Amino acid sequence: MIIHLHFHRRATGVTRSVENILPFLNKHTETRVFGYGIRAPETGLISLFRLIWSGKKTVIHAHRNNELIFALLLRMLGGRFLLVFTRHSDTRPSGFTLFLMKRADHLVSLNPAMSESLPFKNTLIRHGVNTEIFNIGEKKKLPGIAQENIISVIGRIRPEKGQVTVIKAAVHLLREHRGWGIMIIGKTDKQEYLDEILTIASENGVFGQVHIIPETNDILSCYHTSKAVVIASLSEGFSLVCLEAMACGLITIATADVGIHSEVIRHGVNGFLFPKNDHDSLDRILAEIISGSTRPDPEKIRQTILDNWSIEKSASELIKLYETEP
């Protein structure tokens, strides 16, 4: 049996990655979640204790430091299981995190740069996307948004996600094309950063074309509202948004050499890449999209994900790892 741990109250990319893969792991063997803050089949504490003391083959998969600490405590109590840890952040691990990671039986990395930078043996297993859920759907309009054409920026509102770069690139284009708008979706981590975004929009006369949408569990509706998605992150452990947006056939514009952006996107073919913090380069790409001079085929964009980034492939690789002795 496989138990994924999830100790986080807010929905994040980690949450979505676990929610997405569980049904496909369940096709191989029974899989549950222990914890909170996630929509998935769960197991209780008593059932978990019985399982890890039963002698049956059990895998516990942790995704955050607090989950890894909990798993190690279970071991101290005599629990017997294979412990797997996925590193989701692309930042340099702290000494404490390295101390914890070293005690896992298997360590999973998400992109080649992360795999090479970790000082321990690890297995590179990229996330996949559930293409049955994330698909080319009928276009929607969200209440309160007047513009017909929406460019979405999805992620927590903080400097590392690069929303200011998007606004700086887009303001003069929005002034010239009043039927276009920007939708920034995510939890506000830095209020002063959000204030900077809104100030730029206000000073350039496009305040009514910039919409701030709180973090939502219905991310699919946001994709189906959008014409394009911009991912301006300075760093990413992976970048699930990139795969989800492309699975929905959306024009996807992302920072080069961040997460898996440059692996999945072929510039000018199935999406666009631009250097980090380079709002002039992003401006030129957005101008082509808004003018209609470039229109990547949604079906071809989606086919990239169907061919190489499916959740089935990711689940199969995880099952293979779970069956490997440490």
Q: All domains of the chain, ordered by start, with CATH?
A: 2-128+310-322 (3.40.50.2000), 149-308 (3.40.50.2000)
Given this model, what pLDDT does residue 141 score?
85
* 158-174 per-position pLDDT tens digit: 999 999 999 999 999 99
**pLDDT above 90: residue 303:** yes
* 115-135 per-position pLDDT tens digit: 998 999 999 999 899 998 999
Instruction: Read off the pLDDT band of 277 (50, 70, 90).
Output: very high
In what order do the strands lie in the sheet containing 180-185? 210-213, 180-185, 149-154, 228-231, 251-255, 272-274
Given this model, what pLDDT does residue 144 score?
86
Given this model, what pLDDT does residue 16 score?
84
Non-local CB neighbours of 229 within 8 Å, separated by 6+ positions: 151, 152, 153, 154, 223, 241, 245, 250, 251, 252, 253
Instruction: Read off the pLDDT band of 185 (50, 70, 90).
Output: very high
Q: What mean pLDDT is predicted for residues 90-101? A: 92
Percent of the chain with pLDDT over 90: 81
Given this model, what pLDDT does residue 143 score?
86
- The runs of H, that is alpha helices, within the chain are 13-25, 45-52, 65-76, 95-101, 112-117, 163-176, 191-203, 219-225, 240-247, 261-264, 279-291, 298-308, 311-322
**pLDDT above 90: residue 247:** yes
Instruction: Read off the pLDDT band of 34 (50, 70, 90).
Output: very high
Given this model, what pLDDT does residue 218 score?
87
Task: Kindly write down the DSSP assignment for every residue of 211-232, as one continuous string.
Answer: EEE---S-HHHHHHH-SEEEE-
Residue count (the chain): 326
Residue type, 176: E
Q: What mean pLDDT is predicted for residues 250-277? A: 95
Q: How far apart are CA 198 and CA 186, in angstroms?
A: 15
**pLDDT above 90: residue 295:** no
Given this model, what pLDDT does residue 167 score?
97
Given this model, what pLDDT does residue 48 score?
97
Instruction: Read off the pLDDT band of 80 (50, 70, 90).
Output: very high
The answer to whether the beta carbons of residues 197 and 190 sit under 8 Å apart is: no
Which residue did the predictor score with more confidence, 50 or 310?
50
Instruction: Read off the pLDDT band of 11 (50, 70, 90).
Output: confident
Shortest CA distance to 90 belongs to which of 233, 189, 238? 238
